[in-house]
Structure 1
Amino acid sequence: MSENMGHIVKSYEQELKRLADLMAEMGGLVESQTALAAQAVVGQDGAAAARAIEIDPRVDALEREVEQFVIRLLALRQPVANDLRKIVAALKITSDLERIGDYAANVAKRSLVLAQFSLPYSLTGIAHMARMVQENLKAVIDAVSETDAAKAIAVWRSDQAVDDIYNTIFRELITYMIEDPRNITPCTHLLFIAKNLERIGDHATNIAEKVHYTATGETLPETRPKGEHSPYAGLAQS
């Protein structure tokens, strides 16, 4: 290999590492954002809510940086095979991470409003759901950094459990709202918080699908594992 060719290859490898570093930074921020948002709700922690909201602009900026970086890589390097899959997946994964950040910020904002009410409803279910979503998010971010198809499949399969607990929370909150109209406002905020957490789980599953494709070149089935059918599944979808 000529010295010039060796320099080009080394430069390309550095660019791929830079892309991986940007994604790792974004994943870490989103993971922190989600944890802070959960703490804001469950612990009625206004400071945690503020920090979760403050992180969001940095997450958005990183998504734009990755997008520009990927476009440059595609134009100048013209990658093929596994590298092409990895670079294109990075663009899609960071889009999912950005959406997760948005949902985490939304949870944090709702928690600030919720703090003004005396809650008629235990937050145990919300806390359990938040823990499950955080575990899945951490696992899928690890899967991204390691291009680990097995970890990706585990996250993909776990979506059912998140959906099941969301559906349970939904039905319980509707019951509280029917029993006493004074519960409608706080329970509505809790419904949207639960839905935002469920959407974070969905985007973690989206990322898992992309990691699996990057690692294997094969797509997972179009129908992912889901929980029991809920007639309320469209609430606050985006």
Structure 2
Amino acid sequence: MGLKKFHEELEQIQVDLAAYGEYAVGMLTDGMGSLRGLDRALADDVMDRKTHLAELHSDLEDRTIRLLLLYQPVAEDLRTITCINVMNYSYYRVGRIGKDIAKAVLGMQGETYTVPFDSLYVMADIVYAMHREVLAAFRTGSAVNLEDLGLQDDRVDAMRAGLFREYLTYMLEDPKNIRSGIEAISITRHLERCGDHACLMAEKIFFMAEGERVEIR
């Protein structure tokens, strides 16, 4: 009876974590969405979600700790809980990054920005795809295609390096571009970090599913 109860609770936590992941990635998506046209209303909405993000994070953390203390799981069950804990933290950071981007958008209100942001949206689309792949694998309990995810992460890293040089050139050409260039570079760093979180979660999902530790290089 105890083991059945444990698995019921663990399965519910997995369902709730997947929903939490969608919520966090939604904050990132809308944070980037608010950058288009400097949408203050959308940026405010993303900012308002940070409290619920923290509540969901704490709830999942408390429930997984409770399972560890009550049932002392081993083998696959322990790997699953380990994966959940890592993903819980990573999704919290992704959501917070969405909030940070929205906060930057609010700081841009009333100013003229002269550097193009189009490449940031392309970079963001790659990151969204990475997170969709991770979430789909977690929901099915299957290993992520690490080679494919690694290639996507390489693209994100390459874009960050390329965009840093591009925005730096804009700033050197005209001091009026400095403020918007700095904000754009900051967003590339945020997006790269979100890609890193997707890779970290993929590694833990692989360990959960296959019992083998791997690293995306």
Normalising by the smaller structure, the TM-score range is over 0.9
Please say if 1:162 is aligned against 2:156.
Answer: yes
Pick the aligned partner of 2:184 from 179, 190, 200.
190
Deviations 1:198-231, CA, capped at 9 Å, x for gaps:
111111111111111111111223xx34xxxxxx
- What is the DSSP-based 3-state SS (H/G/I as helix, E as strand, rest coil) of the residue aligned with 1:99? helix
Match in the other structure for 2:15: 21
Give the Cα separation in 2 of the matches to 1:52 and 1:91. Answer: 24
Instruction: Return 41-50 or 16-25, whichever deviates more.
Output: 41-50
Cα distance in 1 for partners of 2:212, 2:195 equals 22
The structure 1 segments of at least 4 consecutive aligned residues displaced by more than 6 Å after TM superposition are none
Residue 33 of structure 1, CA deviation = 0.6
Report the alpha carbon displacement of residue 193 of structure 1 after superposing the two structures with TM. Answer: 1.5
Contact 2:133 2:144 in 1 (8 A): no
Q: Which residue of 1 aligns with 2:99?
A: 105
Partner of 1:208: 202
Q: Match of 2:79?
A: 85
- Residue of structure 1 equivalent to 2:116: 122
Aligned to 1:136: 130
Distance 2:48 2:138 in 1: 25
**Aligned residue in 2 for 1:44:** 38
Amino acid at match of 1:102: R
Deviation at 1:152, TM superposition (A): 5.1
CA distance in 2, matches of 1:39, 1:65: 28
Amino acid at match of 1:25: A
Q: CA deviation at 1:105?
A: 0.6
Distance 1:151 1:30 in 2: 22
Once residues 62 and 87 of structure 1 are traced to their aligned partners in structure 2, the CA distance between those partners, rounded to angstroms, is 16
Alignment partner of 1:57 out of 51, 57, 65: 51
TM-score of the pair, normalised by structure 1:
0.86
Q: Distance in 1 between matches of 2:197 and 2:190?
A: 11
- Output the aligned Cα RMSD: 1.6
Task: Verify the 8 A CA contact 1:140 1:204 in the aligned structure 2.
Answer: yes
Task: Write the letter of the residue equivalent to 1:163.
Answer: D
Residue correspondences, number: 217
State the secondary structure of the residue aligned to 2:38.
Answer: coil
Go from structure 1 to structure 2 and tell me whether the alpha carbon gap of 1:76 and 1:30 turns closer, same or farther (over 3 Å shift): same
Please tell me the residue identity of whatever aligns with 2:181: C
1:138, 1:51 → 2: CA distance? Answer: 23
- 1:89 is aligned with what amino acid? C
Distance 1:127 1:115 in 2: 19
Residue 147 of structure 1 deviates from its aligned partner by 2.2
In structure 1, distance between residues paired with 2:54 and 2:185 = 26
Q: Is 1:181 equivalent to 2:175 in the alignment?
A: yes
